[in-house]
């Protein structure tokens, strides 16, 4: 996103001029609406297994940077927490240009982050949207503890508070409830993403990163 007129990205797996991007296969799932995003979910989980085991793939960054000069073709749009311990590209053993990530405290959304997500879904055509929560989330913990927040941080606490209230200030429960509420907010406040979900063009799921083990689990 460089300030020029926004245009929809090229067909999945193809470069700016419609030619295949080296090392990248078409990522749109086949098999009907229910299958959309399934291959991408497995791709993330497989990458996380490599992260946990330490068997990290060779990224070949210099070569990859050159490939990306033609444009980006991520396979997932992800809203994650801005916690420095949560790095989506690292914990899914992904390469440059594979995850379109938006990071906010408590992985919550507002009009700006929703606009970024819409760019990923509607212009980069990602078949998967992930809300990535994590254990020991500081924003959720602070909200559950009821501490005073000043400045713009107060808005973060205000946004998470309904989840904390519903969880009766149990941090672990509040983290899960907050992530599900974020999904509801995305579908309620973004007609663009809701339309893509309804039409079977993308799937939205919740995943949870466990700091203690490094594992990411797909949440129901």
| Structure-token pair, residue 179 | 């992530």
Within-domain flag for 128:
yes
Give the separation between CA 172 and CA 163, rounded to whole angstroms. Answer: 11
Within-domain flag for 94:
yes
Within-domain flag for 155:
yes
Within-domain flag for 2:
no
CA 100 to chain centre: 7
pLDDT tens-digit map of 103-122: 999 999 999 999 999 999 99
What's the pLDDT score for residue 33?
Answer: 61
Report pTM: 0.84
Q: Are 86 and 136 in contact (CB under 8 A)?
A: no
- For 58, the domain range is 33-219
Within-domain flag for 211:
yes
pLDDT tens-digit map of 146-202: 978 899 999 999 999 999 999 999 999 999 999 999 999 999 999 999 999 999 999
Number of structural domains, the chain? Answer: 1
Within-domain flag for 58:
yes
Within-domain flag for 21:
no
Within-domain flag for 208:
yes
Give the separation between CA 133 and CA 131, rounded to whole angstroms. Answer: 6
CATH code for the domain in which residue 134 is found: 3.40.1050.10
- Phi then psi for 133, rounded to 5 degrees? -100, 180
């Amino acid at each position: 996103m460089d300030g020029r007129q926004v245009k929809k990205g090229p067909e999945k797996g193809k470069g700016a001029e419609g030619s295949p991007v080296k090392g990248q296969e078409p990522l749109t799932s086949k098999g009907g609406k229910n299958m959309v995003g399934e291959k991408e979910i497995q791709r993330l989980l497989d990458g996380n297994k490599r992260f946990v085991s330490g068997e990290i793939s060779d990224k070949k960054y210099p070569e990859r940077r050159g490939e990306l000069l033609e444009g980006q073709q991520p396979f997932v749009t992800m809203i994650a927490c801005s916690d420095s311990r949560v790095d989506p590209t690292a914990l899914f053993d992904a390469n440059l240009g594979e995850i379109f990530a938006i990071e906010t405290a408590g992985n919550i959304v507002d009009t700006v982050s929703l606009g970024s997500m819409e760019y990923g879904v509607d212009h980069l055509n990602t078949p998967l949207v992930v809300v990535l929560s994590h254990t020991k989330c500081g924003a959720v913990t602070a909200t559950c503890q009821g501490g005073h927040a000043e400045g713009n941080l107060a808005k973060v606490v205000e946004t998470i508070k309904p989840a904390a209230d519903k969880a009766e200030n149990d941090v672990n429960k509040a983290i899960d409830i907050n992530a599900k509420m974020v999904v509801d907010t995305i579908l309620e406040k973004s007609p663009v993403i809701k339309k893509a979900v309804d039409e079977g063009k993308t799937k939205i799921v919740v995943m949870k990163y466990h700091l203690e083990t490094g594992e990411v689990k797909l949440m129901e």
